Structure 1
Amino acid sequence: MTSSGGPPPPSDTQRPGLPAAGQRRRLVMAGLPGPVSRGRNFTRQALLDWRWPADRTPSAEESVEDVLLLVSELLANAALHAGGPQELILHATPTVLRIEVLDASPLVPQPRSPHLPALPGGHGLHIVKRLSDRWGVATREDGKTVWAEVDPGSTPPPTRSR
């Protein structure tokens, strides 16, 4: 029997379109106008290329929208509070999608406390905390990196209705 020479079918641990070791994409954003929309478009294309998440169910589409909202919040926070984002880095592996936004400010962001959902503003990091599986800040010599991670197949807890 001859082999078709094509790639082997994906295993349970490998997503189609995503190498087993993962893949990283980087968008330099320093000085570019419209960082939020550029970052969302960049992220949407990376997720399509990686076929992330692998299934195309309604909950998977919600997961993509959640990732795009995370990117929007991280980039908007950098634009509003840190002089603008310098870079957006996406790193996907079979077990995690990591979103990193680098900026030049040394100030570490803190969620507004108390969180007042009825008032405008101050919701960005609360949204990041709710939609990601993990998030944090890494300081660098020339600023900081605010990051969030999403595990494939994870869904945020349902919101409470009043």
Structure 2
Amino acid sequence: MSTTRQPSPGDLGPEPGTDQVSVPDGTDRTLTLDSASGVVPLARDFTRQALYDWGWLPASTPDTRAAAEDVLLVVSELVTNACLHADGPERLRVSTAAKVLRLEVTDRGEGQPAPRTPHQAGRPGGHGMFIVQRLCLDWGVQRLPDTQGKTVWAELAAPA
């Protein structure tokens, strides 16, 4: 896990109070989740639509289908983690560039997500960040400047 990478411009998403969905160049989308109900399916549907728009879906090959399913699973895990451990997510950002898809979930939580160690496959619960770690190229946490909260980000390889 990398937690020291400096944020790129726009990594923290839009300013609070801006439009719910932002698509400046077609490769960057932000969904405001603060106070929304059913945030996990909402986040999955939002991400699925981005994958359709970017040509990952409908999947033309098994590899593309698997890559899209991995993205949707990671979105579910990150948003669920924010719901369970950080009073819910504020926003989801999905972006793609240079054969990498980046997911960012911003919340007000102070905790530090980490895979449960040792990982016990047969034990219920506690698998979210282990799944993220296994499916992603990299992931980490960026603290929000001058406010309570953080952005948990994950990067996955785009299908070939």
Q: TM-score, normalised by structure 1?
A: 0.78
2:53 match: 49
Q: What is the alpha-carbon distance in structure 2 between the residues aligned to residue 22 and residue 127 of structure 1?
A: 28
Q: What is the alpha-carbon distance in structure 2 between the residues aligned to residue 53 and residue 39 of structure 1?
A: 16
Higher relative contact order (CA 8 A, sep 6+): 2
RMSD of aligned Cα (Å): 1.8
Please tell me whether Structure 1 or Structure 2 has the larger radius of gyration of its CA atoms.
1
> Amino acid of the residue matched to residue 60 of structure 2?
R
83-92 or 51-60, which moves further after superposition? 51-60
Q: What is the alpha-carbon distance in structure 2 between the residues aligned to residue 47 and residue 106 of structure 1?
A: 31
Native 8 Å contact 2:99 2:159 kept in 1 = no
Residue 120, structure 1, aligned to residue 101, structure 2 = no
Q: TM-score, normalised by structure 2?
A: 0.79
Moved runs in structure 1, 4+ residues, more than 2 A? 52-55
2:151 match: 145
Q: Which ranges of structure 2 fall in alignment gaps of 5 or more residues?
A: 1-24
Q: What is the alpha-carbon distance in structure 2 between the residues aligned to residue 148 and residue 110 of structure 1?
A: 13
Native 8 Å contact 1:53 1:152 kept in 2 = no
Native 8 Å contact 1:22 1:94 kept in 2 = no
Q: What is the alpha-carbon distance in structure 2 between the residues aligned to residue 35 and residue 139 of structure 1?
A: 22
State the identity %.
Answer: 48
Cα-to-partner distance string for 1:68-112 (whole Å, 9 max, x where unaligned): 000000000000010001000001113211000000012111211
